[in-house]
A and B are shown apart, each in its own frame.
Chain A
């Protein structure tokens, strides 16, 4: 069965510091991978999605970047965090080419920028 791992669970970072969040998927090959962010009391905002190694689509202009160095690894990064980057970050996967077969979300990382 497929599992998705995301870490760390919580993170407190000062403004201007770098960020690296990692997500890995097991039990499937060539998945679509996604990064979402949820601000307090708000819906999920799609930040990035990837349909293959090195293929990243950015949905909104922002202070963040994503990379997919391996088939089942998706990384969210920032060189200098802003206060507005605080939120609940969720990684997710879906079957490549399997419309309607959305996988699961990771357990999320709660990021607080101070």
Chain B
């Protein structure tokens, strides 16, 4: 079976740093994606990790530990526009990019 856990909601202050955790148990694994989704819109790609370690991309970084079934998304210098849902999505296929999404974490950034 597939199980993906993320916190339901988080709040943070503009300019701060926030870490969104994701743990997963899947029948197959070929990397993990993070997506951002604003209310009423389609998700947009943020990052992809296939090897253990940290991938940095501007204000956003993503970490993966395959042995622990754990990933996190780190957002620095938070801006109001970062208020959105963040979706953790392991690729559970052998390269077919069969993404299974968690329920997502709703982040609210306050002034």
Contact = CB atoms under 8 A, between A and B. Distances in A.
Contact of A32 (B48, B97, B104): B97
A104 B97 CA distance: 12
Given A43-B87, A99-B31, A51 B103 contact: no
Size category, A interface: 20 to 34
B50 interface: yes
| Chain A residues touching B, majority SS | strand
A36 B98 CA distance: 11
Interface in A52-105: 90, 94-95, 97-102, 104-105
Interface of A: 32, 34, 36, 42-46, 49, 51, 90, 94-95, 97-102, 104-108
Interface of B: 30-31, 33, 41-45, 48, 50, 87, 89, 91, 95-104
